[in-house]
Structure 1
C-alpha cells in the first residue's frame, strides 16, 4: 500500500496544550518518586520530540527511520515510552487533572504515532524477509530465543551481531529475525500503552494483502459456485490441479508461516488472544476461498471421469488435516476448520455417488458388439483400468465407503483377507470384489454373442486372465488377496482347457481312438483325409482368434500342439505306408501350421454372431457360479 494511503489510518494527536515547553518547577513537598517521574517525562519528551516527524528539522537530522538506525537509539526510545507510561500512571494516582499529566498524554500520542509509522515501515521494507516461506523455515526455537535475547535488549550493533558459524543462519534469516523482534517490541509497547488497535490495524492491512497476493500467484481464483458449475470439465480439471499445488504451499508454508509471524509479534501471554484474532482476520478470506473450492467441485454434476480428481481433492485435505487443525486451532478460526471438514464430507458423498453410478452403469451395459477374435472386451479394459486407479486411493476410500450399504457377497466367492484385521478395509475389499463379480457376470452374457462355443470359452479365458493380471500388478492384489487370485487363475485355466477340448476335439476325434493300431489301407487313407481336413479347418478358423497374453498364448499352443502331434505321429508312423497319396501333412508340420493361430491375424466378422446356442449360455453361467 502506498505510504500516502497508509497515512489515513494513523490517528491524529491532539494539539499540545498552551503550556510552556518546560515543566513546572518541582514543589518542595514532592517525594522522591515524584522526582523520578518528572525525570522520566523529561527524558521521554527529549526523545519523543526528537523523532517526531512534524519537527521541521526531522528529515535533515534523521534521514532513516528509528528502527533502521543504531540499535541503542531504538532501545532508548522504547525505554523512554515505558518510563513515560509509568509516570502517567503515577500522575493519575496523584492528580488526574494536572497540567503535567496532560502534557504527558500528548507526548504519549506523539510516541504512538511514531511507533505506528515505524511498525508500518518495518512491515513494508521487509516484505521479502518476512515472507511466509522464510518465516516458516526459521531456525529452531532455541536459536530464535538466543537471537531474541539479544535483540529484545536492544544492545549496540556489535553485541547483537550474529555469527553465521555459531548459529548457521543465512543473511535473510538474520534480517527476518531482527525484523520480527522489532515488530514484537513495538507491538508490546503499543499494546501495553493502550494503543493495540492502531498497531493491529496496520498489521492486518499489510499482512492480509500479502496472503491474498500469494494465493493469487498460486493460481487461486475466487469463483462462485455458478461459475464453477459452468466450466467445461477440461478447464475445471486444470483448476483442480492448480488447487492441489496451491493447497500444499498454502497450508505447509503460507498460513503456517503467517501464524508463526503473528504469534511471534502478538503472542505474548497477555496478547495471545490478540495474535489469534489478528491471524483469523488475515487468513479468513483466503482460507475460506481455498477450502471452499473442493465443496463446489463436489456439488457439480457427477460423472465417472471426475472420480479421481474428486479423490485427489479429498486426499489432499485429509493429508493436510493435521496441519489445518493445528494452524486454525482456536475459536476465531473454527469456521475455516468447519469449511475444510464440510468439503471433505461433500467430496466423500460425491465419491460414493459416483461409485454407485459406476456399478450401475456396468450392470446396465447392453452392448451387443463382441470383442473381435475373442479378445479383451472394452468393458473389461475400462472397468479394470478404472479399478486399478481406484485402488491407488485405497487409503481414503476406506474412510469414504465405511458403513456404506453394499450388496452381500457369498463367502464361497470371496472372503476379505483383511476381515479380521481391519473392518473398514474389509468393506472396501468386498466392494471391489463385488464390482469385479458384476463385470465377470456381464462377460458371461457377452460370450453368448459368439456362434462358436470354443471361441466363447477362449473369450472368457482371455478376459478372466486379464482381470487376474490387472489385479496382481496393482494395489488391487492387496485388497483381494491371494486366495481370490488363485480362484480366478484356476477359472481362467478351466476356460482355456474347455476351449482346447471344444476347439480341437474334432481334430483329435478325426484320428482313431488307438492311433498306434495298424489299419487297413483304405480305412487309414480315410482317417488321413479326415484329419487333414479337420486340422486345416481348425487352423484356418483360429487364425482370426486371439489370446492377448503372449505367455498364455504359447502355453495354449504348446498344449494343443503336443496333443495333436503326439496322436498324429503315432498314427502316421503306423499307417503311412500305402497312404502316401493322401498324407499331405507330416508330423513335423503340425507346429508350423499352428504357429499363426491365436495371434488375431485377419480378424473379421465371420467369427461372431449376434446369437449363440442356449447350451453355451447355460454353460457359461454355471461356470461363473
Structure 2
C-alpha cells in the first residue's frame, strides 16, 4: 500500500508531512494542544456520527472513477482528522491513565479511526494537485503518519516495558537450575515444571498482548508492515538472546571446539544440550504462542517473525553441533553425540509450524542435516567397537579364569548404549538409507537382499550390528580361552565370561529386547555344555578311581589294587583342590551350581566306594594311610573351590 508523501526513511523520529509541518518539537506539541482544544468543542459522542459520515464519503469515493473530476470534500473529513490528532495528543499527554492499553474501548475506537484515515488517504489518491481532494490527501496522510509514529513508539514501549517481567520470571530464576551444574546427568529428564512446557514465557500480561495485537493490526492494515515487524523482530530477538544468555549459552567457534580437550568439550556439550532442551520445551513454544497471538490475523507474518527469530538462535546451536561432529571420534563420545542428536531431533518440531515460510523449511532442513551428521558419527563410533574387539589380542591369560576386562568393557558399553536403543535404531536406519543411496548397481542390491534373507524377519540394522559385535566378542573369548593350558580352567574361563554376558543381557530389558529370547536360550545352552566339559575334564579321572572294575580277582578284592585306588584318588583330589580353590567364579549362582553338581557326582560315589571297600583295609594305621577323607570332608573341600584363595586341607578322621 502506498504511503503518504513525502516518503519517510527509517523510523518515525521526525515527521515530514506535506501540510503545515511544525518547525520544532515545541511547535509540534503546541499544535497538538491547539488541535486538542479545537476538537474539545466536538463532543466524544460526535465520533460515531463523524465516523459514519466518513464511511459514507468513502462509499461515495469508491464509485467515483473519474480522477480528473475531483469530488467535493465534506467538512467532516477535516473534523475527523482533528479528532484523530486529538486522540494522539491525549495519549501523549503524559497522563498514565490515558496511555494506550489502559482503556481498551478507547484503543479500539482509535485503531478503527486510524483504519478510516488510511482508507481515506488511499481513496483520495490521484486527484489533480490543485484540487481540495488532493489537499485532503496530504492532510490525511500527515495524520496517518503521526498515528503510525505513535503506534510504533507504543509497540516498542510495550515490548520493552515487559522485559522486566521476563528478567524476573520464575521460569528463568527459580524453576530452572543452573545449566553449569555438572551434577545432573544429560539423560535425566528436566524437572517437572520444565518438562511440561507450561511456564509463562515470555511474561507478557494478556492485556498487553491484546494491545500489541491491536497495534499490529492497525499498522499492517495501513501499509506499515515493515516498520511494525522491524520493531517486533529486533526487540524480541534481543529479549530471546538475553534469555539464552541467562542460561549460560556462549557461542564457540569451530576452531575452538577442535582445540578443546575432551573433558572441557564434554562440559560444553552438556551445557549446550540443556540449553537446546530448554529452548525446545519453553522458549521457542513461548515465542511461537506470543508471535501467533500478536499476528493472529496474519499467519504468514507470524510464521516469518518466528522463523527469523528461531534462525538467529538455532544457527549458533547448529554451528556447535557441526563442530562437535567433526572432532576426532572415540568410544567415550558416543553417548554425548547421541544426546546431541536427540536434542536436535526434539528441536525440529519446536521450530516448525504448519505455516512455515521458506526460511522456516530451510532451518528445519539444516537442523535435520546437523542431526544426521551427529547420527552418522554415532554409527561410526559404535561400529568401531568391532575394531576395538579385534585389536584386543593379548597373549596373557586372565589369572584364575576370571571375567576378562574386554568382556566387562564391551558389555557395560553395550548396556549403556542400549539405553539409547530407540535413537540408535533411528540413526542406523538413516545410515542404511544413505548407504543404499550410495550403492550402485542391482548386483549390490541383490547381494544385500540375499544377506538380509538369512536374518530374522524383524531384525533391524542396529540389531544386526549389535549381534555382530556379540559374535565377535564370542570369537575373541574363544581364542583367549586357548591361552589356558589346563582344559578345565579353559571351560571355567568360558563359563565365567559367558555367564557375565548372559546376566548383563538379562539385566537390561533394552539389550534383551534386541538380542531376543532365542539368542539367550542358545547362550544358556552353551554354558551348560561348558559345564559338562568342565565336569568331564576335571572329575572323570577321579571318578574312575571309585569304579568296581579291576578290584576283584576270582571273586576276591585285590588289596594292592584297592590301596593304589585310594592313593590315586587322594592325590588327584588333593591336586584339584589345591589348584581349583585358587580359581575364580565371581557369579555366586554359577559358583553354587558348580559346587552342587560336583558334590552330586562325587559324594555318593565316594560314600558308596568307601562303604564297600574300606573294610578290606586293615584297621589302624593302614586305614588311616589310605582313607584320607570321609564323605563330609569331600563335601567341605568342594565348597572351598572357586573362591580364588588357596586353602590347606586338614585330614579328617572318623
TM range (shorter): 0.7 to 0.9
Question: CA, structure 1 residues 93+41, in 2 after alignment: closer, same or farther (shift >3 Å)?
Answer: farther
C-alpha displacement at 1:335, in angstroms? 3.0
- More off after superposition, 322-331 vs 571-580: 322-331
Q: CA separation in 2, counterparts of 1:297 and 1:350? A: 10
Structure 1 stretch displaced more, 296-305 or 109-118: 109-118
1:198 aligns with 2:234: no
Q: Does structure 1 residue 181 correspond to structure 2 residue 225?
A: no
2:440 paired residue number: none
**Kindly tell me: are residues 88 and 9 of structure 1, through their superposed partners in 2, closer, same or farther at Cα, counting changes over 3 Å?**
closer
Counterparts of 2:251 and 2:98 in 1: how far apart (Å)? 38
- Partner residue of 1:303? 330
Partner of 2:520: 485
The 1-side partners of 2:79 and 2:307 are apart by 42
Q: Is the 8 A contact 2:201 2:283 kept in 1?
A: no
Whether the 8 Å CA contact 2:70–2:127 is kept in 1: the answer is no
TM-score, normalising length: structure 2: 0.76
Shift of 1:203: 1.0
* Superposed counterparts of 1:395-544, under 5 Å: 395-402=422-429, 403=432, 419-420=456-457, 422=458, 425-474=459-508, 475-514=510-549, 519-544=557-582
Q: Does 1:592 align with 2:592?
A: no
Match of 1:92 among 125, 138, 151: 125
CA 171–558 in structure 1, closer or farther in 2 if over 3 Å, else same: closer
Q: Which secondary structure does the structure 1 equivalent of 2:82 belong to?
A: helix
Q: Which residue of 1 aligns with 2:13?
A: 11
What is the CA RMSD across the aligned residues, in angstroms?
A: 3.5
Deviations 1:365-398 (A, max 9, x none): 1112322210100111111111222222221222
Structure 2 Cα separation of the partners of residues 347 and 37 of structure 1: 65
1:37 aligns with 2:77: yes
Q: SS of the counterpart of 1:281?
A: helix
Check whether the contact 1:510–1:530 (CA below 8 A) recurs between aligned residues.
Answer: yes
Separation in 2 of the partners of 1:318 and 1:254? 16
In the TM superposition, residue 16 of structure 1 has moved relative to its aligned partner by 7.2
Matched, 1:326 2:372: no
1:80 partnered with 2:113: yes
Q: Distance in 2 between matches of 1:576 and 1:220?
A: 85
3-state SS in 2 of match to 1:580? helix
The match for 1:207 among 236, 260, 276 is: 236
Q: Describe the shift of the 1:568–1:75 C-alpha distance in structure 2 as closer, same or farther (beyond 3 A).
A: same
1:262 touches 1:279 (CA, 8 Å); kept in 2? Answer: yes
Separation of aligned partners in 1, 2:203 and 2:251: 36
What is the aligned counterpart of 1:561 among 576, 599, 621? Answer: 599
Instruction: State which of 223, 227, 233 in structure 1 corresponds to 2:252.
Output: 223
2:583 and 2:643 in contact (8 A); partners too: yes
Maintained 8 Å contact 1:545/1:600: yes
Matched, 1:380 2:407: yes
Change (3 A) 1:428 1:225: same
Tell me if the contact between 1:284 and 1:336 (Cα under 8 Å) persists in the aligned partners. yes
Q: Which has the higher contact order (CA 8 A, sep 6+)?
A: 1
Q: Deviations over 1:389-423 (max 9, x none)?
A: 222222122232233699x99x99x975xx33x4x
- For residue 279 of structure 1, the aligned residue among 286, 292, 306 is 306
Equivalent in the alignment of 2:624: 581
Pairing partner for 2:91 from 29, 51, 63: 51
Looking at structure 2, the residues matched to 189 and 345 of structure 1 have their Cα atoms a distance apart, in angstroms, of: 44
User: Match of 2:624, SS?
Assistant: coil
Q: Determine which of 337, 343, 348 is the counterpart of 2:375.
A: 348
Cα deviation, 1:503-557, whole Å, max 9, x if unaligned, reads: 2233223333459977333332222222112111100101111112211111111
CA offset at residue 476 of structure 1? 1.7
Alpha-carbon offset, residue 238 of structure 1: 1.8
CA gap 1:462/1:93 in 2 versus in 1, 3 angstroms: same
- Report if the CA contact (8 A) 2:582-2:641 is conserved: yes
Deviation at 1:459, TM superposition (A): 0.5
Distance in structure 2 (CA, Å) of the matches to 1:487 and 1:511: 35
Q: Is the 8 A contact 1:267 1:275 kept in 2?
A: yes
Q: How far did 1:90 drift?
A: 4.1
Which residue, 361, 382, 403 being the options, matches 2:388?
361
Q: SS of 1:548's equivalent?
A: coil
Asked whether the equivalents of residues 37 and 90 of structure 1 are also in contact (C-alpha less than 8 Å), the reply is: no
User: Which SS does the other structure have where 1:72 is aligned?
Assistant: helix
Q: What 5-or-longer segments of structure 2 have no aligned partner?
A: 1-9, 22-30, 39-68, 172-197, 437-443, 648-654
The aligned counterpart of 1:335 is 362
TM-score, structure 1 normalization: 0.79
Q: Report if aligned partners of 2:310, 2:351 keep a CA contact under 8 Å in 1.
A: no
**CA gap 1:66/1:515 in 2 versus in 1, 3 angstroms:** farther
Q: What is the alpha-carbon distance in structure 2 between the residues aligned to residue 174 and residue 564 of structure 1?
A: 80
Deviates more, 1:296-305 or 1:393-402: 393-402
Deviates more, 1:171-180 or 1:75-84: 171-180
CA distance in 2, matches of 1:116, 1:599: 83
Match of 1:610 in 2: none
Give the Cα separation in 2 of the matches to 1:255 and 1:508: 76
- Residue matched to 1:161: none
Q: CA deviation at 1:363?
A: 1.1
User: Among 81, 85, 105, which residue is 2:141 paired with?
Assistant: 105
Larger deviation: 464-473 or 125-134? Answer: 125-134
How far 1:568 sits from its partner (Å)?
A: 1.1
The answer to which of 104-113 and 463-472 deviates more is 104-113
What is aligned with 1:623? none
Q: Distance in 2 between matches of 1:113 and 1:515?
A: 119
1:392 counterpart SS class: helix
Aligned residues: 543
Counterpart Cα distance in 2 of 1:328 and 1:231? 40
How far has the Cα of 1:67 moved from its partner?
Answer: 1.9
Please give the secondary structure, in 2, of the residue aligned with 1:547: coil
Q: Measure, in 1, the Cα distance between the counterparts of 2:608 and 2:351.
A: 78
- Listed as ranges, the matches of 1:81-160 within 5 Å are 81-92=114-125, 98-127=134-163
Change beyond 3 A, Cα 1:170–1:552: closer
